[in-house]
Amino acid sequence: LKALPSTPAATSYQLVQLPGGTHSLHSLAYGETLHPVVGPVAEAESLYVNQLRLRERLKNYAGEFVIWDVGLGAAANALTVLRAIREIPRAIRLVSFDDTTEPLEFGLQNAAALGYFGGYEKQLETLLRTHQVTFRNGEQSVNWQLHSGDFPTLLAGALEERHSQTVASKWGVAPHIILFDAFSPAKNPDMWTLPLFTNLFRMLDPQRSCVLPTYSRSTLLRVTLLLAGFFVGVGQATGVKAETTIAANTPERVAEPLGRKWLQRARVSGSAEPLHDAVYRQLPLAGATWERLRAHPQFQ
Ligand SMILES: C[S@@+](CC[C@H](N)C(=O)[O-])C[C@H]1O[C@@H](n2cnc3c(N)ncnc32)[C@H](O)[C@@H]1O
């Protein structure tokens, strides 16, 4: 990838040109590029908008539609989704999480090259300043919140609050979809642990079907999602990735569930044991993990 001269103020992000000619951000701290290969907009469209048939889902749902955006970054996923659904008159609650606003600030400073901010700059500036913004998005009303901080810690805190029942959850109601976009498990292991996904699953409403697509197809991640309680299946291809992963709290949202063949492959894989803490390791399944995995309702 070619690093390009960018507007200053960036300490740990660089602007890069992807092979297809579009631009994206490269994190020097993580050594990874956001939305590599196909670029920010194309990836978000295929992973979230098209795969989830988001427009149809929205048309068939009358109430407030809740989207969690885990890893706001430079807001490519969030803006691609907002742009794709703007003609459908609904109330949208968008809840973004990140432990830094640096990629978004850097993205806005390089908006012309990135090309996907058009029309949303003012709203993003308010979001950066006050961590909350409400606005009209075509036919919709949008309430967008930003929660800054370490996501695993925020999640654990929110569950504790809910448990003590003294404080109403400040994140509002449970999500209908989760855009889950951290850096890779090898570089960002704190965002891919079994405790994190277990807590995430516990935040969902069993009465509200929720779906979580993500770009990885690794066995380790799929085992983690299953053990956290999700139903898990093969997600659609994006760019050069032949497969991604889709998880949901209800089986009917997973069109192509992982079956016994996958289970047998996981059993012999050298990298299938979930991360139990924020350290990246590649290990085969432990005996107790295998017993839990094969007892998952998906394989019964
Ligand atoms: C791949 S980037 C997200 C790209 C973004 N979705 C977009 O469309 O531009 C991953 C993001 O996860 C955030 N992140 C990494 N570890 C985190 C943590 N422990 N808590 C919250 N956010 C985290 C990073 O700061 C980064 O912005």
Query: Does ligand 1 come within 6 angstroms of the Cβ of 150?
Result: yes
Ligand 1: centre distance to CA 182 (Å): 5
- For 90-105, give the DSSP string: -EEEEEEEES-SHHHH
Using an 8 Å Cβ cutoff, are 47 and 244 in contact?
A: yes
Ligand 1: centre distance to CA 76 (Å): 11
pTM above 0.75, yes or no: yes
Ligand 1: centre distance to CA 70 (Å): 7
What rounded mean pLDDT belongs to the chain? 92
Using an 8 Å Cβ cutoff, are 159 and 202 in contact?
A: yes
Residue 142, burial from CB neighbour count under 10 angstroms (0-12, 13-18, 19+): buried
Query: Does ligand 1 come within 6 angstroms of the Cβ of 45?
Result: no
Which of 48, 179, 181 most suits a substitution to test ligand 1, by most atoms within 8 Å of the C-beta? 181
pLDDT in tens, 186-226: 999 999 999 999 999 999 999 999 999 998 999 999 999 99
Ligand 1: centre distance to CA 181 (Å): 6
DSSP 8-state secondary structure symbol assigned to residue 275? B
pLDDT tens-digit profile, the chain (300 residues):
555 555 444 479 999 998 888 999 999 999 998 887 777 888 899 999 999 999 999 999 999 999 999 999 999 999 999 999 999 999 999 999 999 999 999 999 999 999 999 999 999 999 999 999 999 999 999 999 999 999 999 999 998 887 765 444 667 789 999 999 999 999 999 999 999 999 999 999 999 999 999 989 999 999 999 999 999 999 988 876 789 999 999 999 999 999 999 999 999 999 999 999 999 999 999 999 999 999 999 999
pLDDT in tens, 146-180: 999 999 999 999 988 877 654 446 677 899 999 99
Q: In one letter, which amino acid is 259?
A: G
Beta bridge partners of 48: none
Query: Does ligand 1 come within 6 angstroms of the Cβ of 36?
Result: no
Query: Does ligand 1 come within 6 angstroms of the Cβ of 103?
Result: yes
Neighbouring CB atoms inside 10 A of 270's CB total 10
Query: Does ligand 1 come within 6 angstroms of the Cβ of 38?
Result: no
Residue 294 CA: distances (Å) to CA of 98, 220, 263:
34, 15, 8
Ligand 1: centre distance to CA 97 (Å): 8
284/177 Cα distance (integer angstroms): 31
Ligand 1: centre distance to CA 291 (Å): 33
CA-nearest of 256, 275, 272, 254 to 264 is 272
CA-nearest of 158, 129, 160 to 146 is 129
Identify the residue whose C-alpha is closest to ligand 1 atom 15: 182
20/10 Cα distance (integer angstroms): 24
Ligand 1: centre distance to CA 72 (Å): 6
Query: Does ligand 1 come within 6 angstroms of the Cβ of 182?
Result: yes
